[in-house]
Structure 1
Amino acid sequence: MTDSMMRWKLMMLTAFLFLLLSACQNGGQDKTELVVAAASSLQDVMDDAEKAFTDEHPDTKITLNYGASGSLQQQIAQGAPVDVFISASDDRVERLIRSGQMTREDTENILRNRIVLITPARSDSSITNLEDAVNSRWTITAGVPASVPAGRYAKEALEYYGYWNNVQDHLVQAKNVRQVLTYVENKNADAGFVYKTDAMVSDDVQIVQQIEQRAHSPIVYPAGIISDSQHKQAAGEFLEFLTGKKMAGIASEYGFETETNK
């Protein structure tokens, strides 16, 4: 093989490797990143949903930000860069719709849940139902009603049964539903109000009563696209996934209901 032919082959190989490297770099640069703000009670199911979605859409990366629905809504209202908001309460989405930061057309109810009363799994208390729990000898915990939807549902239920005023001196308010769960797991509280789905994933608590649905507002999780999102197409694909059959299967594993499996 002549020197000129060898140089030509080396040049072609170098050019090929350069093009291959450029393609790989451009592929990484072209990946769309969606920022999804979701209620903390959705952490387990959304972690699985994110993996299932990105397996189907490898060009999309999802960054999940969990927190109390009220806090997330306030962050979005103040301009936080979010593409999709999933709330544990429809009133938080309604506020963003009224302010023009979301639209009803780009919003769907994706999940339903139940409120339950829990105690530590190895509890020394004699609490077997809500009537027992409101006794002043026990410490009860629930989310802050003004910012934590689960806390608002708990307050509605306590008001419905006529117990709200009775528990004020022994009610510990938490910043989100996962903190309520932790308080009960660690026996810092004798009983607490959480979503059924949160209770199901913990071995350290037990459900002593499922609260009647008529005692509080419907527990729905609306999801919607933020109006100033720069990734409307990817956000729309994710919202479509959240209302589909695969999501219904994931949700049912954690005790959620959807429009598909309710």
Structure 2
Amino acid sequence: MKFNKLLKFVSSFALSLVLMLGFVTPTFAASTDTNSTTTLNLMAAASTRYSLGERGVDGAYPSGTLLRAFEDQNANIKVNVTYDSSGNLLNQMIADPNHSADIFISADLARMNSAVTANIIQADTVYNLLNNKLVLIANPNTGLTENSLQYSDVLGWLNDNPGTTIAVGDPAVVPAGTYTKQVFDAIDSTTWNDILTHATLYSNVTNVLTAVANNVNQLGSVYATDAKTDSNLIVLATEDVNIIYPIGITNAAMSDTVSRAPASQALVNFLKADIAKSTDLPINGGSVFKYFGFSPAQ
């Protein structure tokens, strides 16, 4: 009889222990979740792709790029980046029912302001990060030399050289195209419309650069940072038209105070710190942004 009572006691104790362990296990699993990776979705103007970087076939960003350095320093944060014109990125974010974007880097203030108005970007996170300049470029086959043609001379050159064309970003979605239109409009009220008769409009500034490099179009209007990536292209003229790149965090990211908001702020702070560096020699700890031709926004 005593043996049976002892057996019942042991069985009851074992059952209680199993139940206790069952309740403990989920708590342990939840605690390990705090060390999991947070994935950020960065929407960035096409002209930042060289400084930020693109993942290679090995899944890593190239050495010397900002996103490589950031992920190396933040092992629990992964950054997926989408490059396109600022207008196209804005349209993508507006159309996204999942609100998956976390950070937006625009090549102009207008698209960032539109993102704030559309309740995509939280207004108090917007920060003017970078400045850039607009440059007129030419394919080497034109025979043109550095600083030999101004924007004011473009229409005459195109008219004098039948079959030649100019590549421009579509002003409807590409800030570089908007800035280019401003430059031509300042020359004469009809110049832009005349330029359009010789122009091919592209969906982002990277496509403009590629078109001129491949001699699809003999001239092009791009950012100084884009022109710097291809030493074969001829820089004909430079225009400082107050090009500002603002950065902002989405409302969707900011609403996730556990993971997306702090991770997004960490990336923004990292990019701010880079452009604030005093030199443009990344190998010596200088600024990657400055190395690629950007300057701090004024």
**Where on the TM-score scale, by shorter chain, does this alignment land: which range?**
0.7 to 0.9
Spell out, residue by residue over 1:17-47, the C-alpha distance to the aligned partner (whole angstroms, 9 max, x if none).
Answer: xxxxx99xx6897011111010111101112
In 1, the alpha carbon distance for the partners of 2:231 and 2:118 equals 41
What's the secondary structure of 1:105's corresponding residue?
helix
CA distance in 2, matches of 1:223, 1:115: 20
Deviations 1:113-146, CA, capped at 9 Å, x for gaps: 0000000134335863323321223311100001
CA contact (8 A) 2:167 2:217 kept: yes
Query: What do residues 142-177 of structure 1 show as CA deviations (whole Å, max 9, x unaligned)?
Result: 000010000000000000112213212111111110
CA offsets 1:186-205 (integer angstroms, 9 cap, x no match): 11111110000000011231
Match of 2:183 among 131, 144, 157: 157
Verify: 1:130 aligned to 2:143, yes or no: no
Pairs aligned (count): 233
Q: In 2, are the aligned partners of 1:122 and 1:204 still within 8 Å (CA)? A: no
Cα deviations by residue, 1:57-99 (Å, 9 ceiling, x for unpaired): 1111111111111011011112251111111111111111112
Give the whole-Å Cα distance in 1 for the aligned partners of 2:41 and 2:116.
Answer: 19
Counting only pairs closer than 5 Å after superposition, residues 206-245 of structure 1 correspond to structure 2 as: 206-211=234-239, 213=240, 216=241, 218-229=242-253, 230=256, 231-245=260-274
Equivalent residue for 1:19? none
1:71 aligned partner: 88
Q: State the alpha-carbon separation in 2 of the partners of residues 148 and 167 from structure 1.
A: 17
Q: 1:31 aligns with which of 27, 37, 48?
A: 37
Q: Does structure 1 conserve the Cα–Cα contact (< 8 Å) formed by 2:35 and 2:76?
A: no
CA distance in 2, matches of 1:61, 1:161: 46
Partners of 2:135 and 2:235 within 8 A in 1? yes
Which runs of 5 or more structure 1 residues have no equivalent in the other structure?
Answer: 1-21
Partner of 1:196: 224
Between stretches 166-175 and 109-118, larger displacement belongs to 166-175
Q: 1:247 offset after TM fit, Å?
A: 6.5
Q: Which of residues 78, 82, 102 in structure 1 aligns to 2:121? A: 102
Paired-residue identity, %: 28
2:275–2:296 contact (8 Å) kept in structure 1:
no
TM-score, length-normalised on structure 2?
0.73
Q: Is the 8 A contact 1:125 1:190 kept in 2?
A: no
- Aligned partners of 1:49 and 1:203: how far apart in 2? 22
Bigger drift between 240-249 and 181-190 goes to: 240-249
Say whether residues 1:168 and 2:187 are aligned partners.
no
Aligned-residue CA RMSD (Å)? 2.2
Q: Which residue of the partner structure matches residue 167 of structure 2?
A: 141
In the aligned structure 2, how far is the partner of 1:28 from the partner of 1:172?
Answer: 51
1:185-225 alpha-carbon deviations (Å, 9 max, x no partner):
111111110000000011231101002x2xx4x21111111
* Cα distance in 2, alignment partners of residues 191 and 180 from structure 1: 9
State the distance in 2 between where 1:41 and 1:233 align: 26
Query: In structure 2, what is the Cα distance between the partners aligned to 1:125 and 1:210?
Result: 15
The corresponding residue for 1:185 is: 213
> Match of 1:134, SS?
helix
Residue 257 of structure 1 is matched in structure 2 by: 295
- Give the TM-score normalised by structure 1: 0.82
8 A Cα contact 1:90 1:221, kept in partner? yes
Q: Which amino acid aligns with 2:268?
A: L
Cα shift at 1:246: 6.3
Read off the aligned partner of 2:153 and give its amino acid letter.
Answer: D
Residue 116 of structure 1 aligns with an amino acid whose one-letter code is V
SS in 1 for 2:263: helix
Find the residue that maps to 2:142 and give its secondary structure: coil
Q: Which amino acid aligns with 1:226?
A: T
TM superposition outliers: structure 1 runs of 4+ over 6 Å: none
Q: Compare 244-253 and 201-210 and name the one that shifted more.
A: 244-253
Q: Secondary structure at the match of 1:201?
A: coil
Contact 1:121 1:203 in 2 (8 A): no
Larger radius of gyration: 2
